[in-house]
Structure 1
Amino acid sequence: MNKWFKQFSVILALVIGTTFSALSFAHGDATDHTHAATEGQIWSEIQAGATGYTTSHGQFHNQPINSYDLRVLELRSDWLAPALMAALFGMIIIFVLFIKVNGISKLHHGFSGKMVYRWSKFDVSIHWLGAIPCLLLILTGLTLLAGRFFFQPYLGEGFWAGLVYGAKQIHDYMAIPFMIGWALMTTLWAKNQLPKMYDVKWFLVVGGYINFGPFKGKHPDAGFANAGEKMWFWAFAFFGLIISASGMLLLFPNLFEPSRTLSLIALVLHSVSAIVICAFSIVHIFMATVMSEGGMECMVSGYCDENWATQHHNLWYDEIKANGTLKYKA
């Protein structure tokens, strides 16, 4: 009897324990399913525009999440950030490989030693007024737009926080001088950037910068600005306008009081314009500093070598020689 009672007690304990465990598991599983269903329902309601109550008076004061923002965040991570990385580093890699294969454009008759007046000191000044902030804006903009996805995983938390803070401060402060430089260059230089029929031939022979095949030795006609410089100028003028207007909205929201939708549109347009200007800037920098022998001197002293002028801007050189405005550096 005693032995039977002990066996019965053990069996009863096992049954009770198993039943209790099963009930607990079922309750927990049901709770998990309930929580998941509730969360899914809440998220669906939020996406559908569900609202609530708050004491805030902001534009979206009664919305827990503005689902419209999420599409911009996805656009930023999936398209805008990689595009800006490609515009900067991709163009640098392309030019390095191109120069390695093609070489640079040398002066066929070497340097003459005679320097021809091309840019005034004021022109040189406003060029650098726009150029230096532009470079700083590209680098800091890259950090702000793409850094979270490409740089942050490899940096310490403290260093990353300091880097982002510094980039934001520089980006904000460099915006104004960039816009001043952009406005002056666009206004004062537009007259020399108007398209001409001979610009088409310049593009057909890639400006004479190819050192092999049927393009080798070709030097197409060009006025004060060649076709490539004109394309860069008008891209800079147009996208500089967009980046300046959108930048003002983002920089001074209390002044302009844009709607949230307008702010998001401005952010996207700002990023797209930055990508275009970044790509063109890399081309411009390489052409001026590396690709064209003697080209950088123009924006350092305002003068260019006479052989450089006759090789790359022959129509302009012939014009100033014919009208008596040709001036050499003393």
Structure 2
Amino acid sequence: MLTLMLNKSLRRIFALLVLCMGLGLATVPVYAADEQSSQQQAKSMTSDADLWRAIKAGESGYSTYKGVDADILINVAGNEGKILRNTYLKPLLGLAFVGVFVAFLVFYFVNGPSTLSKGFSGKMVFRWSKADLWLHWIMAVSCLIMMLTGLVIMLGRHFLAPYVGDDIWAGIIAFSKFSHDWSSPIFMVSWLACVIKWMPLQTVKLYDLKWFLVVGGYINFGPFKGKHPDSGFANAGEKMWFWSLAIFGLCISVTGIMLVFPTLDLPRIWSMLALLIHGVSAVIIVAFTIVHIWMATVLSEGGMECMVSGYCDENWASQHHNLWYDEIKANGTLKYKE
């Protein structure tokens, strides 16, 4: 009897051990699978983080399209260029347009115009040919169109778009873009013709330094009052304007071509660099253009007549361009308007 009970107990213990071993063997793969899944998930998360970190750093990958920069999802230089444009270029353009204008307006009210010390003589001296006048005004009008439309394109969303409807703003920006693009070839051709034709008259001379020292004789108070420095056909201020237009007009023309022509499949870093150079050149030309307009119209009595008829008053020529006036008198090329 005791033996029979012992055998039953041993059989139950054995069965219990077998059951435990079976459960253990069944659980091991589950635990292993869970461990493997956790490792794969951690590895996947790490790989995704590394992938996006590399993409944001501008590393190239692979794409089926094989154009320029096709394998680069995020252009780092482009993003940095956009930050520079929005942070510095846009405020500078606004400052060049509004700041320079306001500064000269204040100067005009404080100083007044530069009048002719001997008054108008009534004798008009030949200064510019008809071809010069046409070139000047074609370039001037196209340049002004590009300046105004460029301001709308760069700054319009800040000072104009919030105050008009979306439909009106869409029409304004589309018209500005169209006008900007189609006035640019006219500007480039006239700009090149003006640079070639007028360059011999813009040679920098030693006496141009004195022109700057006495502010061109435009100051009507203090020790500079009545000081009219020597000047040839073009004074030092006009020469500075000419060379600024020549250099930065070239920059605007080249970068404008790079930005407008769709067939130029350029790397995005080149496009952003072209956009930044275009913007910097525009800021400089806008500032100099405003100065040029002020000097030629308001601050210089009798100055505007030169670019309207091609003739200037004899006293104006003697006061503002004395070396040129003395030269044409001496060589016999002085010609009066009939």
TM-score greater than 0.5 by the shorter chain: yes
- How far 1:48 moved relative to its partner? 2.3
Encode CA deviations 1:64-118: one digit per residue, 9 max, x unaligned: 3323211111111111111111111111100100001000101112111111000
1:208 touches 1:219 (CA, 8 Å); kept in 2?
yes
- How far 1:39 moved relative to its partner? 9.8
2:68 touches 2:265 (CA, 8 Å); kept in 1?
no
- The structure 1 residue matched to 2:296, chosen from 288, 303, 309, is 288
- The structure 1 residue matched to 2:122, chosen from 113, 117, 121, is 113
* Correspondences of 1:25-64 after superposition (within 5 Å): 44-49=53-58, 54-64=63-73
Q: 1:192 — aligned with what?
A: 201
Query: Greater Rg, structure 1 or structure 2?
Result: 2
Distance in 2 separating the partners of 1:42 and 1:94: 53
2:77 touches 2:272 (CA, 8 Å); kept in 1?
no
1:77 touches 1:149 (CA, 8 Å); kept in 2?
no
Unaligned runs of 5+ in 2: 1-45
Q: 2:166 — aligned with what?
A: 157
Q: 1:182 — aligned with what?
A: 191
- How far 1:252 moved relative to its partner? 1.6
1:318 aligns to 2:326 (yes or no): yes
Code of the aligned partner of 2:321: H
2:259 touches 2:275 (CA, 8 Å); kept in 1?
yes
Encode CA deviations 1:172-229: one digit per residue, 9 max, x unaligned: 0000010011101111101111011111111100000000000001111100000000
Going from structure 1 to structure 2, the CA distance change for 1:69 and 1:149 (only over 3 Å counts) comes to farther
Q: 2:6 — aligned with what?
A: none
Q: 2:316 — aligned with what?
A: 308
Q: 1:268 — aligned with what?
A: 276
- The structure 1 residue matched to 2:87, chosen from 78, 97, 102, is 78
**RMSD across aligned positions (CA):** 2.0
* TM norm structure 2: 0.82
1:236 aligns to 2:219 (yes or no): no
2:214 touches 2:227 (CA, 8 Å); kept in 1?
yes
Code of the aligned partner of 2:320: H
1:121 touches 1:302 (CA, 8 Å); kept in 2?
yes
2:252 touches 2:277 (CA, 8 Å); kept in 1?
yes
Going from structure 1 to structure 2, the CA distance change for 1:153 and 1:44 (only over 3 Å counts) comes to farther
1:205 aligns to 2:220 (yes or no): no
- How far 1:52 moved relative to its partner? 5.7
The farther-off stretch of 44-53 and 266-275 is 44-53
State percent identity of aligned pairs. 56
Unaligned runs of 5+ in 1: 1-36
Distance in 1 separating the partners of 2:294 and 2:337: 26
Distance in 1 separating the partners of 2:158 and 2:54: 30
- Structure 1 consecutive aligned stretches of length 4 or more whose deviation exceeds 6 Å: 37-42
Q: 1:217 — aligned with what?
A: 226
Code of the aligned partner of 2:83: E
Work out the number of aligned pairs and report it. Answer: 294
Code of the aligned partner of 1:108: S
* TM norm structure 1: 0.84
Code of the aligned partner of 2:117: H
